[in-house]
């Protein structure tokens, strides 16, 4: 299998030397962050296997699909309506962009004062180290932030990129603009795949993605219990894998994991003592293998019970409203659902602090850690409002700004330990 992988990566024009370095760096990190945890649910075995073969089996599935004439559509943002991709018999893949490894590659071209997520994604393509990028027929970007939209222009020099225009306001005019974008995206996908998106196909795709959202909702609901039956790191990993695994299989694996967690809850079995501080993280998304903050928090004896982020609740909280098989109504339901993502790219975006307050209560947290990637201006600015709002609600908040490097780990540890000491029950 190892040789088969090498042949596949060669066919995908991967830089094998760099790629080897990337994979050999991932193993020890995963060992330290994940495999060293005690008392993990057996269902996490599947996710360990996925990470252990991160550029193997799933990429092979995508290649098989392409050999049979299918298309692979890569995305970076939860605004891209994946239902339309599935409905055209193409496969959507959420790209990772969570590693420091590809950042120096990107810095040869992009300004250094760009957020790590943007640099990491661009570096993957520039350095040819990500088989998911190489295997995709189209990359779909969006205009959520300035850094990303300008990076997509550059990325387009290497691979076909289509950019969806995400409005910055939530007015009726903006909603209409977004609806038009969804319709245009449908045309783009139909053209790419030569498949017509019918009401029947779209209905099936809506059910497929909604089922995965419901499974993730169930997983997160189980994290509301005390003592919590799963660590924040494990829940984050399960969510991260949902971005690129097959949606049907993913739903099955999440369901099996939740069945096991139900039993843990019934037996009162937790991964940490009931009095461990419960933390909600709010802010920028954390793509694989960005486990840095969770690892520091949980190594300090606390537990992350919820993420208000795009690798958390924003990814699955809302379903696309099921409608009868009428294409027009389905497309409207899709655009409505996606416009309801409370990303900091919107102004104003008061729904996000509302969400954090609500989630803090639902998950009975002792404190919130606001996480924003360095040079991400939207989240950094929104933290000011968040701080005021949480202060009013009496919810302790710690603001963290960081990147993917290890340089500030010691400093973060000190600040987080001090915060945990302050909120201790
Ligand atoms: S819907 S959060 S996934 S845009 S961290 S690249 S905003 S400078 S990631 Fe996001 Fe979609 Fe919004 Fe979610 Fe720019 Fe900020 Fe970097 Fe960011």
pLDDT tens digits for 268-291? Answer: 999 999 999 999 999 999 999 999
Nearest CA to ligand 1 atom 15: 376
Q: 199 C-alpha to center of ligand 1: Å?
A: 31
**Probe ligand 1: pick from 146, 152, 284, max atoms within 8 Å of CB?**
284
Q: CA nearest 186: which of 221, 245, 233, 140?
A: 140
Distance of CA 323 to the CA centre of its chain: 27
Nearest CA to ligand 1 atom 7: 145
Q: Which atom of ligand 1 lies at the shortest distance from residue 379's CA?
A: 15
Question: What is the pTM for the complete model shown?
Answer: 0.97
Q: Which atom of ligand 1 lies at the shortest distance from residue 373's CA?
A: 5
- The answer to whether the beta carbons of residues 355 and 390 sit under 8 Å apart is no
Q: Which atom of ligand 1 lies at the shortest distance from residue 118's CA?
A: 6
Backbone angles phi, psi at 282, to 5 degrees: -130, 135
Model confidence pLDDT, tens digit, residues 387-405? 999 999 999 999 999 999 9
Distance CA 209, CA 214 (A): 9
Across the chain, what does the average pLDDT equal?
A: 97
Please state whether the peptide bond connecting residue 227 to the residue before it is cis, i.e. omega within 30 degrees of 0: yes
Query: Confidence class of residue 204 from pLDDT cuts 50, 70 and 90?
Result: very high
The pLDDT of residue 2 is above 90: no
Nearest CA to ligand 1 atom 8: 376
Q: How far is CA 266 from CA 47, 276, 364, in A?
A: 24, 19, 19
Q: DSSP characters for 19-76?
A: HHHHHHHHHHHHIIIIIT-SS--TTHHHHHHHHHTTTSHHHHHHHHHHHTT--EEEES
Least confident range from 12-16, 228-232, 322-326, 336-340: namely 322-326
The pLDDT of residue 1 is above 80: no
Q: For the residues 121-148, what does the mean pLDDT come to?
A: 97
Say how many C-beta atoms besides its own lie within 10 A of residue 172's C-beta: 8
The token pair that represents 292 in the structure block: 């840095």
How high is the pLDDT of residue 39? 92
Query: Confidence class of residue 36 from pLDDT cuts 50, 70 and 90?
Result: very high
Nearest CA to ligand 1 atom 12: 343
Q: CA nearest 254: which of 279, 288, 293, 223?
A: 223
Query: Confidence class of residue 24 from pLDDT cuts 50, 70 and 90?
Result: very high
Q: Percent of the chain having pLDDT more than 90?
A: 97
Q: For the residues 101-130, what does the mean pLDDT come to?
A: 96
Q: Percent of the chain having pLDDT more than 70?
A: 100
Query: Confidence class of residue 96 from pLDDT cuts 50, 70 and 90?
Result: confident
Q: DSSP characters for 273-318?
A: -TTSPEEEEEES---TT--HHHHHHHHTT-EEEEEESTTTHHHHSS
Distance of CA 177 to the CA centre of its chain: 25
Nearest CA to ligand 1 atom 10: 77
**Probe ligand 1: pick from 345, 402, 404, max atoms within 8 Å of CB?**
345
Q: Taking CB atoms and a 6 Å cutoff, what residues make up the pocket around ligand 1?
A: 77-79, 115, 117-118, 144-145, 147-148, 284-285, 310, 341, 343, 345, 373, 376, 378-379
What letter does residue 425 receive in the DSSP assignment? -
How high is the pLDDT of residue 35? 96
Nearest CA to ligand 1 atom 11: 77
Q: 2 C-alpha to center of ligand 1: Å?
A: 35
How high is the pLDDT of residue 325? 80
Nearest CA to ligand 1 atom 3: 77
How high is the pLDDT of residue 3? 77
């Amino acid at each position: 299998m190892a040789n088969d992988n090498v042949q596949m990566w060669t066919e995908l024009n991967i830089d094998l030397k760099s790629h080897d370095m990337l994979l050999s760096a991932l193993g020890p990190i995963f060992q330290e962050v994940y495999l060293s945890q005690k008392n993990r649910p057996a269902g996490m075995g599947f996710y360990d296997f996925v990470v252990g073969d991160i550029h193997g089996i799933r990429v092979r599935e995508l290649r098989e699909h392409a050999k049979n004439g299918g298309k692979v559509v890569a995305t970076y943002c939860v605004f891209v309506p994946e239902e339309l991709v599935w409905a055209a018999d193409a496969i959507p893949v959420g790209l990772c962009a969570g590693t420091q490894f590809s950042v120096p590659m990107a810095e040869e071209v992009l300004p250094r004062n760009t957020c790590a997520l943007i640099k990491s994604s661009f570096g993957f393509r520039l350095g040819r180290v990500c088989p998911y990028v190489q295997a995709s027929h189209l990359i779909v970007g969006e205009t959520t932030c300035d850094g990303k939209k300008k990076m997509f222009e550059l990325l387009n020099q290497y691979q076909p990129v289509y950019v969806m225009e995400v409005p910055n306001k939530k007015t009726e005019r903006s909603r209409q603009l977004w609806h038009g974008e969804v319709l245009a995206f449908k045309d783009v996908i139909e053209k790419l795949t030569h498949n017509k998106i019918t009401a029947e196909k779209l209905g099936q795709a809506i059910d497929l993605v909604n089922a995965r959202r419901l499974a993730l909702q169930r997983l997160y609901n189980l994290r509301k219990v005390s003592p919590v039956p799963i660590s924040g790191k494990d829940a984050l990993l399960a969510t991260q894998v949902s971005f690129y695994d097959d949606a049907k299989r993913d739903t099955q694996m999440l369901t099996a994991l939740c069945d096991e967690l139900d039993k843990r809850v019934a037996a009162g079995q937790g991964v940490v003592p009931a009095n461990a501080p419960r933390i909600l993280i709010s802010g920028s998304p954390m793509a694989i293998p960005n486990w840095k903050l969770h690892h520091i928090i949980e190594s300090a004896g606390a537990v992350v019970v919820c993420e208000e982020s795009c690798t958390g609740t924003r990814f699955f909280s809302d379903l696309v409203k099921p409608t009868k098989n009428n294409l027009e109504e389905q497309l409207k339901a899709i655009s409505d659902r996606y416009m309801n993502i409370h990303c900091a790219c919107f102004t104003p975006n008061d729904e996000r602090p509302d969400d954090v307050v609500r989630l803090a209560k639902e998950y009975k947290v002792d404190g919130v850690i606001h996480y924003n990637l360095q040079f991400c201006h939207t989240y950094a600015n929104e933290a000011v409002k968040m701080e005021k709002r949480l202060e009013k609600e009496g919810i302790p908040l710690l603001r963290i700004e960081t990147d993917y490097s290890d340089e500030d780990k010691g400093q973060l540890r000190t600040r987080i330990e001090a915060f945990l000491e302050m909120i201790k029950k």
